[in-house]
Amino acid sequence: MKALVQDLQLKGLQRRMDKIQTPVAAVVIMACNRADYLERTIKSILKYQNAVASKYPLFVSQDGSDPQVREKALSYDQLTHMQHLDSKPVQTERPGELIAYYKIAHDMEIAPDFFDYFEAAAALMEKDKTIMAVSSWNDNGQKQFVHDPEILYRSDFFPGLGWMLTKSTWNELSPKWPKAYWDDWLRLQENHKGRQFIRPEVCRTYNFGEHGSSLGQFFRQYLEPIKLNDVQVDWKSKDLSYLMEDEYIKHFAEILKNAKPINGADAVLKASNVQGDVRVHYKDQPDFERIARQFGVFQEWKDGVPRTAYKGVVVFRYPPPRRVFLVGPKSFELLGIKSV
C-alpha cells in the first residue's frame, strides 16, 4: 500500500486494528477521482464484508485530492480512509498484524464468495512460495468463454483487477513497486522468474467502469460481457492441492494431452464439431493472434506472454463446457509432454 496517511489518524487505525482478532487480509480499494464509482464499489464489498469484517478490515487508499472522493470515503464508519501523498509505505503500530493485502480498483463489484475464495487462496500461498499473487480476474472471463465457477488455474501472466499478495511478498516488492500498470508490473515480474499467479475461470470481480482506462470498444468487447460469479462456492471444503507447483504441472499436462488436436484453417468450425476438449497449436505470436481473433479471445501479449497463459497455453471454453487450448510451440516441452 503506497500511501502516506493524511486523513487517517494513527490512533484511530490502532483502535480499528485492536478489534481485529484473526485478520486474514486488508482489503484496499484504490480510488482517485470518481466518487460515484467508489460508492458502488464500497456498497458491493460491504454487502459481503460486514459478516466477516474482523477478518477483512476495509481501507480506501485515495490517489490525489478529489474532495468528493474524500468526503464519500469518510462517510462510511466501516472503513479507514488513507491518501497518497508520496511513495512512503504506510506503517501500522504493531508488526505482523496482517498476512496479506487485497487490492481492488474503485470501479469493481465483487462476487458472493469473494472472501471465501481469497481465504482459501491465502492458505495456498502460504504453502507454495512460487505463487506471487492470487487474482479474482480472468481476462477471458466473458460469459461465452466460461462454465465452471470451481475451476482455478495457474498463470504466467498477471491477471490484475482484484488481487492479493502475502505480506512478505509486499514487503519484498514495495520498495520498487512500479507507478505504471501493465508494462512496468510485467518487467517487475520478469525479475522474479518462476513465480506465478492463481486465477479463477469465472471472475470474482466485475469491472463496471467504462471511463478512465476502460474506454469505448474495449469496454464493450472485453469488460462489459465478463461473467461475475453468482454461485456460493464452499471453498473451505475444496482440495486445492492440485494448484501446488509440482502437482499442477502434471495435472495440467494430463488435461492437455487428452484434448483432441485440431489442425489447419477454420479452427472455430472444427472445434464446434468435436466432442470434448480440443487443442489448437500456434507457431508464433502472429499465428496466435490470428487464431485468437477467430475465437474472439484476447490477442494481446506482454513481454512474450499471452494473456492468461500458463507455459504458453491459453485455455477458455468454446462453446461451454468444451475447453479449447491454444498451445505454444514450446508448451509441450515446458510441460514435459512427449509428442502425442
Give residue-wise pLDDT tens across range 255-270: 999 999 998 889 999 9
Query: Which of 90-99, 199-208, 212-221 has the highest mean predicted lDDT (pLDDT)?
Result: 199-208
| Whole-number pLDDT of residue 193 | 62
**Average per-residue pLDDT for the chain:** 85
Cis peptide before 319 (omega within 30 of 0): yes
Site of grid cell 507507478: 179
What Å distances lie between residue 22 and 94, 121, 141, 235, 307, CA to CA? 14, 16, 32, 18, 35
Residues forming a β-bridge with 48: none
* 12 pLDDT more than 60: no
> Could you tell me which residues come within 8 angstroms of residue 179 by beta carbon, excluding any fewer than 6 positions away?
none
Report the SS3 class of residue 299. coil
pLDDT of residue 220: 84
Cα–Cα distance list, 65 to 72, 87, 188, 311 (Å): 12, 15, 28, 42
C-alpha cell at 65: 485530492
Average pLDDT estimate for 108-122: 95
What are 324's strand-pairing partners?
A: 278, 316
Q: How many CA atoms lie within 13 A of 52 on its CB side?
A: 18
Which residue has 454487502 as its cell numbers? 47
Q: Which positions are catalytic?
A: 183
